Amino acid sequence: MQNRQQREVDDKLFEWMCEIRRHIHQNPELSYLEVDTAAYIRSKLNEVGIQGQTRLAGTGLIAETGRLESSLTVGLRADMDGLPITEETGLPYASVNPGIMHACGHDGHVAMLLGAAALLQQMDLPGKVRLLFQPAEEKGNGAAKMIEAGAIEGLAAIFAGHIDTHYPTGYFTVDEGIVCAYADPFIIKLKGSGGHAARPHESKDAILAVAGLITSLQSLVAREVDPNHAAVLTVGRVEAGDTHNVIAGDAHIEGTVRSTHPVARARMLSGLTRIVKGNAVLYGVKTDLEFPAALPAVINNASAAAVAAEAAATVITEGNILSQGPSSLGGEDFAFYLEKINGCLIRFGAQLSDETGSAHSSTFNFDEAVLPLGAAWYAQVALQFLQNSQ
């Protein structure tokens, strides 16, 4: 009887979370524009009886549950922004906002943290839990804005998980140490001088300079970084020229450097700077290099990772806890929190069939069966941390 009642409660929570996930999936919003998403989250927090919500960092939101008078507080974080991608999943709840899509699972993270909120409300907690709904993870600085606004003041630790379709549902990865890379986006502007396609000697060709530069930059990973330290440099955007018979005077490239070791990072960034300068001399152009939004690495501290694993063991059993192995070269702005306080970021397996696209693709989707597992872990890790800190 008890079991049947419990199952009904679990089924209801699952349905509630699926509805939330699908609503958010259908109505994605870009970084710092998560206005309706935040309003929807507020209404769902009200539904489970969590008042006293604070709006901060633009569209961000924090709320607390548990023993509110307690000075011991643990944080749980979900990100809530979509990406500038046109959805092609064909799902009945596909995005209705043209050119915007939840293609990284942040819709699921919101549903999980709300599910956790509902579970935490039913628990007798030996402390307080702060729920952080963070904007603009995809911009790489929503977490920094949350910190500036005071979102982690008084927190003893912070935990989060990310949906990951590389792993089957029912499996989590928990690791201590580095799990996401240093990410250093860069912008390079080259200024030559335009001219007639047939008279190159009267101009400085910015396209030739860019072509040389992109090729040279790829030697950084191959020749300047210790091969035992993972690093990658990607040029993701090139813009130059207007038409076939005009030599381009200007060019613009954007890219990112990823690395998993501080020494490799320093070598990559100093090497990039040197090559950009050298290339300018080589091609006789002026160059301007900018690093607009450096992101630190996510480094899970050992004691927080142990609590994360303890909580995972109660949700998915110890045998289903995996290691992700070497750090991902992806960036994750959860890193900013971990620069300030202890914490741990884990991954929730949520694999679907082979036809599903990867994260950040127009056909990305994940297994919704992960939602109750994620919610249970969020609630459990908070409880476990508070109990261990008594």
DSSP helix/strand/coil, 354: coil
Cβ distance to Ni ion smaller for residue 205 or 333:
333
CB of 90 to Ni ion, least distance (A): 22
Applying CB under 5 A, what is the total number of residues that bind Ni ion? Answer: 1
Distance CA 93, CA 84 (A): 17
CB of 171 to Ni ion, least distance (A): 18
By CB under 5 A, the residues from 270 to 299 that bind Ni ion are none
What track of x and - describes contact with Ni ion for positions 306 through 335 (by CB under 5 A)?
------------------------------
Cβ distance to Ni ion smaller for residue 38 or 78:
78
By CB under 5 A, the residues from 81 to 110 that bind Ni ion are 104
By CB under 5 A, the residues from 243 to 262 that bind Ni ion are none
Task: Give exposure, 69-83, as e/b (b: 16+ Cβ within 10 Å).
Answer: eeebbbbbbbbbbbb
CB of 247 to Ni ion, least distance (A): 41
CB of 137 to Ni ion, least distance (A): 6
Cβ distance to Ni ion smaller for residue 137 or 250:
137
Cβ distance to Ni ion smaller for residue 82 or 192:
82
C-beta separation of 324 from 344 below 8 A: no
Question: 115 Cβ partners below 8 Å, 6+ apart?
Answer: 13, 16, 17, 20, 371, 372, 374, 375, 376, 378
Cβ distance to Ni ion smaller for residue 104 or 309:
104
One-letter amino acid identity for 276? V
CA-closest candidate to residue 339, choices 106, 137, 158: 158
Cβ distance to Ni ion smaller for residue 109 or 267:
109
CB of 367 to Ni ion, least distance (A): 16
Distance CA 13, CA 371 (A): 10
CA-closest candidate to residue 20, choices 53, 47, 2: 47
CB of 325 to Ni ion, least distance (A): 19
CB of 120 to Ni ion, least distance (A): 23
Please state the separation of Cα 92 from the chain's center in Å: 26
Residue for token digits 């008084």?
154
Question: 1 Cβ partners below 8 Å, 6+ apart?
Answer: none
CB of 162 to Ni ion, least distance (A): 6
Tokens found for residue 307? 């609590």
The secondary structure of 47-72 as a DSSP string is HTT----EEETTTEEEEEEE-TT-S-
Cβ distance to Ni ion smaller for residue 57 or 345:
345
User: Which residue is at the shortest CB distance from Ni ion?
Assistant: 104
Cβ distance to Ni ion smaller for residue 216 or 361:
361
C-beta separation of 269 from 261 below 8 A: no
Binding residues (CB under 5 A) for Ni ion: these are: 104
